[in-house]
Structure 1
């Protein structure tokens, strides 16, 4: 069933329910500022990719501090420090590229979320009438 087929009462219920269920593009972009933590993806209920972004961030941070610890006080770069530095650069670069991509696909992700919630609410509103 389409949104245009709803009665006035159903449209009012739909609007009221959407107010609670829909996601804001502006808020999602604001959360992208903390994108290295995957916050914007958790907001859009994309838990797997949000967790992966968080793990990439933690791996980069851990590698950075471990490389700094291995370099020691005299700041000589030894093999373990260089390995952790490379890991930090790779995970950081992967996360950076992912955040830049998210910058451009964020409107689609929010639109898909909102459209799915709207369709779900319409199904609930029209379910008894269709059977």
Structure 2
């Protein structure tokens, strides 16, 4: 690592920072499919009518809420069945986000170290 050219370290560091920022931007939205979102919105409109407007936003952002409405539409009759559906949806979402967060943290850390190393190497006076 000591033999790395400061310009190359700076360029590679900036690339890693951009990759980390891109991963963060791509994974910041919940993983709700368009079909599930539409199904959730339709179920809310059928159940609550004009008063559904306050809940429809949750169909776009809350994985557990979408799973609950999906379970209700599929005929879940007990609170246990609803809780199981919500829990499974949240576990799947949490597992994928943990993996993404690891790669985001790794790329940001490596990018920051290489960027700072490149800046330091470019600003130091040669002996």
Do both proteins adopt the same fold according to a TM-score greater than 0.5, normalized to the shorter chain? Answer: no
Structure 2 length as normaliser, TM-score?
0.37
State the TM-score, normalized to the length of structure 1: 0.36
